[in-house]
Amino acid sequence: MVASDNLKFGGKEARNAFRGLLTNMGSANSKSANGRSVRNILEEAKRQMAVRLQQQAMSGKKMATNEELITLMAADFEGQ
């Protein structure tokens, strides 16, 4: 799903944050660990990425690069 959205993980930290959410989701209630749940996690991460990049741009830093626009970072999975 990440590849089909032309996204990628920003290193092991981001991948581990995603895996941790999947593990917690599965251990909390194995019946709720389905494709819809995975999609919801990724959609929320994409929203968090957009907020992070907007805040970066508003703080006077450079505009996001193409690479930054497709890279999910560990911070994008926090708070889920």
Question: What's the whole-number mean pLDDT along residues 3-17?
Answer: 93
Task: Indicate if the pLDDT at residue 31 is higher than 70.
Answer: no
Q: Name the residue ranges covered by the structural domains of the chain.
A: 8-77
Question: What's the whole-number mean pLDDT along residues 42-49?
Answer: 96
Q: What is the 3-state secondary structure (H, E, C) of the chain?
A: CCCCCCCEECCHHHHHHHHHHHHHHHHHCHHHCCHHHHHHHHHHHHHHHHHHHHHHHHCCCCCCCHHHHCEECHHHHCCC
Task: Indicate if the pLDDT at residue 33 is higher than 80.
Answer: no
pTM of the entire structure? 0.84
Name the band, by pLDDT with cuts 50, 70 and 90, for residue 29.
low
> What pLDDT is stored for residue 3 in this prediction?
80
